[in-house]
Amino acid sequence: MSKNKHIEGDTEPYRDVPIFNNNRFKLGVFGSNCSNGCTITHAQTTFEPTYDHNVKIAKLADSLGFEMLVPVGRWRHFGGTTKFNGTNMEVYTWATAMACNTDKIMCFATSHVPTVHPILAAKQAATIDQISNGRFGLNVVCGWFKPEMEMFGVEQLPHDDRYKMANEWMEVVDRLWVEDDFDYNGEFYRINQGFLSPKPIQKPRPVVINAGSSPAGRDFSARHADFNFLSINTFEQAAEAANDIIKRAAEYNRKCGTMSYGLICCRDTEKEAKQLYQNIVDKGDWGATNTIIELMLGENYSYGDNKAAIQAMGERFIAGWGSYPLVGTPEQIVDEMIKISNLGIEGYIVSWLDYLEEMEYFGKKVLPLMREAGLRN
């Protein structure tokens, strides 16, 4: 068995979990725990943010050999006419349920640092790892949506301070997973005789992912994550980001891989695929979309001279939560995946307008071509 390239040194065991398998391009399902999934639109869909529907999605993904299920961490909606993501299942509970209905796929929880104490997070993660027989993963996010934090009565810290807090949070979680009876005295957390049992099944710890894109966010991933999920604006930008994260991780004597995420619109013809994508955009909820963009850009948000740029950004959010959408025939989708893989990006967590039907189509039409291209075994 080859050494896991994301962990340094011979003293740490190989982490025999799907996200570290030898498929060149990993696959996951993203956002199925929330209403509307990852499309901010009124386009007609068969998708339902229910437990039963999510179980069907999870079982199908497992049967297709996907490596992971990744939920969106959400506590309230973004307004607009869709109340985007307003109905959602709590992520640790969801991960446990999905793990109990699957056999091999990894089940992640997306955890907001300010809303979950690190002792509770570590305990829940270890418990789910036990329940899933070592298939749990933790997606750590700092909490950028101010109304959510205010709902908890939590102060929204300045951007870089959120990552300082997250660094301490992750240090405590990591130590709880491997140590007993330790004290921790930080700026944000004080731990007296920290203890956790049972420990996670995965050694040295469960898989950790993060999607930080700012310098502070990239540094957090480099220090703590096994993978950074970067957004693709252009291939040049994505290559720079991937290389930067690798270099930053090396400074900590670590290895951190990169993956990305996106909506897939795939049909037998390019025309049909583009029509599907355009229908999503044309029926988009710009109320919720503008709220998200304004919150993300803050004081830099302006329609002024940047109207075209804001429009393009908005379409990306409507059709895939600000991601790089893959639109075309099965052959075109795989060609794009090859280009993305050649950037050093190791996988994609995917959303669809109609998760179940489009996943079935993906399994029949796209996966065989991925195998032919050497992206999948």
Residues of the chain with pLDDT under 50: 1-14, 299-304
The CATH code of the domain that includes 360 is 3.20.20.30
Q: What is the pLDDT of residue 50?
A: 98
Q: Give the domain range for residue 77.
A: 18-372
Tell me, yes or no, whether 4 lies in a domain: no
Burial class (CB in 10 A: 0-12, 13-18, 19+), 203: middle
Q: Is residue 27 part of a domain?
A: yes
Task: Give the predicted TM-score (pTM) of the model.
Answer: 0.93
Rounded to 5 degrees, φ, ψ at 210 are -160, 155
Could you read off the pLDDT of 207-223 as tens digits, one per residue? Answer: 999 999 999 999 999 99
The answer to whether position 246 is within a domain reads yes
Under 8 Å CB-to-CB from 68, ≥6 apart: which residues? Answer: 18, 19, 26, 27, 28, 29, 105, 106, 107, 108, 137, 349
Q: Are 362 and 266 in contact (CB under 8 A)?
A: yes
DSSP calls for 113-180? GGGS-HHHHHHHHHHHHHHTTS-EEEEEE----HHHHHHTT-----HHHHHHHHHHHHHHHHHHHH--
Taking CA atoms, 160 is separated from 156, 218, 242, 278, 302, in Å, by 11, 11, 20, 37, 23
Q: Which residue has the tokens 């963009």?
A: 293
pLDDT the model gives residue 152? 86
pLDDT, tens digit, 9 for 90 and up, residues 236-253: 999 999 999 999 999 999
312 assigned to some structural domain:
yes
Tell me how many domains the chain contains: 1
Q: Note whether 350 and 31 are within 8 A (CB).
A: no
Asked whether residue 171 is assigned to any structural domain, the reply reads yes
Q: Does a structural domain hold residue 11?
A: no
**Residue 254 maps to a domain:** yes
pLDDT of residue 148: 87
- Determine how β-strand 68-70 pairs with β-strand 106-112: parallel
Report if residue 6 sits inside a domain.
no
Which pair of tokens denotes residue 13? 């065991």
Alpha-carbon gap, residue 276 to 327, rounded angstroms = 9
